[in-house]
Structure 1
Amino acid sequence: MTIQDSFASAVGALRGVAAADRLCEVCVELLSVDAAAISLVFDGANTGTLGASGDAARLYDELQFTVGEGPCLESVSDRAPVMVVDLAADVDTGRWPAYGPALLAYGVCGVFAVPVLVAGEYVGALDLFRDDVNMLTGDELSGAMVAAELAELPMLDLLGNNLMALPADVNGPGWAELNAVTRTEVSQATGMLVAQLDVDPAEALVRLRAHAYATNRSATQVARDILERRLRLDPG
């Protein structure tokens, strides 16, 4: 059985987010990595996590949104794989001054990202994380490329389903699935901060991200506290 057959067999008839999660889990099983996530990237920002092998992978991915840098953004921008075998050594180059040290603090030593192409557009990346310093073997790199190609299918499921369902039923599964993978709560909280702090949306988002980074929390966690009025940022 080829590695492509192994991935396809493991994902089976799953669709959408379930397929994306399973694809990430199989990456951990077959590629000797410790975590995997599929990032959604639009307009130069990590706008959501389509799939993840677990909570740690989801945290590593969202951290790219919080600090505005990381392998998924670089991979989509350059339209090429990103391979960082030794993150500690790479940090010294100043490549990701916020994301690199944050990942190292979580015990991640290496990170790899392969862009995901949908309908001719680069709309995301498959991110792989390792807790040791080792390059992907040739077979593992080939497997990562296959997994990135297969990630196109759950992305198409998500985009296609929501294009049809969103206008028709705001309480339907299309909205629920979209909200589950995108940073909708961050957008809502940013809107609240615009009114509370009397700043423009860009400044409000910077404030939210800065608070998340300073308190070592995800942007989504901070957004939820703002929306539920458990947190009010200082206007100063």
Structure 2
Amino acid sequence: MVDLDRLDRALVAAVRAGTPDSSLKVCRACVSWLPMTGVAITIMSELQGAQEPVCATDPGAARIDELQFSLGDGPCVESFTTGRAVLVDDIAAPAEGRWPMFAAAASAAGARGLYVFPLHVGASRIGVLDCYRNTPGPLAVDELAGALRAADAAVWTLLDQGERGTDADDGTAGNEGAEGWFAGHGLARAEVHQATGMLCAQAGVPPPAALARLRAAAFTQERPITAIAGDVLARRLRLDPDGIWLGGEDGEASTTDDTTGTGDRGIGLPDHEDPAGPASSKGDP
């Protein structure tokens, strides 16, 4: 039985704090008071085809987010696209065939149940609350209610960050959707977005198609998408207008030794947070 009163108090405290780690506090409240192993918040842009990690309680949640960004597929993408919650009782079940590549990788990362909730601001969608646990099974009614309350709280923390990250005089503070939030913050996947822009110019393709090219290259080469993006930015790899990948001046694509794809942000937490911190303790929001 979920103690919804204690969960509500933790969520209200996180929103009222109005600090840079308020979104992370919402995620930690989910782990503390709901049967979740890990939780992440991701902002997404329908126009740009971009996904940016805001925070994650543990490496597993960060890995699940990264997998969906790299593959361009999974419950987060479906939830954001449809505007509906996506509840997966067991991602490792043989009957679960919606996202075969993601399912295999997510189960290998220790996920079984996946529960994703879209984040709405009016009619606009700005991202998702992505919850997972290492045991299979459906959410009970009170667990589902608690997760929906957490999604509402997550929206308020993102709105607060968006207001702090934009200049009210430059006309961006009122932007609808995730675009205003993207514009006002340093992005963990900035290299990927920059490389997408370069490919758009090189090949004359729209951003979603350029990002799809990056994802395909990362998948076929079995390298992090951030490593592929680094090659594009360093001009070791370019996209011909005919859609053919070309090497740099030496005629070869780089084979960097970056195998994590996480950069300095580690698991997507703010720099001052300890990944092994409060997320591991139940009952302390």
Q: How many angstroms apart in 2 are the aligned matches of 1:204 and 1:176? A: 20
CA distance in 2: counterparts of 1:222 and 1:156, whole angstroms: 32
Secondary structure of 2:246's counterpart equals coil
Does the alignment pair 1:210 with 2:213? no
Mapped partners of 2:224, 2:66: distance in 1: 7
Q: What aligned pairs does 1:1-236 form with structure 2 within 5 A after superposition? A: 1-9=5-13, 13-16=17-20, 18-43=21-46, 45-89=49-93, 92-164=95-167, 178-180=185-187, 183-193=189-199, 198=203, 200=205, 202=207, 203-224=209-230, 226-227=232-233, 232=237, 235=246
Shift of the alpha carbon at 1:157? 2.1
The DSSP-based 3-state class of the residue aligned with 1:113 is strand
Could you tell me whether the CA contact under 8 Å between 1:46 and 1:62 is conserved in 2?
A: no
Structure 1 runs of 4+ aligned residues shifted over 6 Å read 174-177
Cα deviation for residue 83 of structure 1 reads: 0.7
Q: If each structure's helix is expressed as a fraction of its own residues, which one has the higher value?
A: 1
| TM-score normalised by the chain length of structure 2 | 0.67
Deviates more, 1:99-108 or 1:208-217: 208-217
Matches of 2:198 and 2:82, distance apart in 1: 34
Q: Is the 8 A contact 2:18 2:160 kept in 1?
A: no
SS in 2 for 1:48: strand
Gaps of 5+ in 2: 172-180, 239-244, 248-285
Q: 1:215 to 1:192 in 2, by over 3 A?
A: same
The answer to whether the 8 A contact 2:14-2:22 is kept is: no
Cα separation, partners in 2 of 1:175 and 1:201, compared to 1, 3 Å: closer
**Are residues 216 and 55 of structure 1, via their aligned partners in 2, closer, same or farther at CA, if it must alter by over 3 Å?**
farther
The alpha carbon displacement at 1:167 in A equals 5.2
Question: TM-score, normalised to structure 1's length?
Answer: 0.79
Kindly tell me: are residues 48 and 3 of structure 1, through their superposed partners in 2, closer, same or farther at Cα, counting changes over 3 Å? Answer: same
SS at match of 2:44: strand
The one-letter code matched in structure 2 to 1:27 is C
Are residues 25 and 227 of structure 1, via their aligned partners in 2, closer, same or farther at CA, if it must alter by over 3 Å?
farther
Q: SS at 1:98's partner residue?
A: helix
CA change 1:164–1:63 in 2 (3 A) is same
Bigger Cα Rg = 2
Once residues 194 and 120 of structure 1 are traced to their aligned partners in structure 2, the CA distance between those partners, rounded to angstroms, is: 29
Deviation at 1:50, TM superposition (A): 2.0
5+ residue gaps, structure 1? 169-173
- Cα deviation, residue 228, structure 1: 5.4
Q: Equivalent residue for 2:253?
A: none
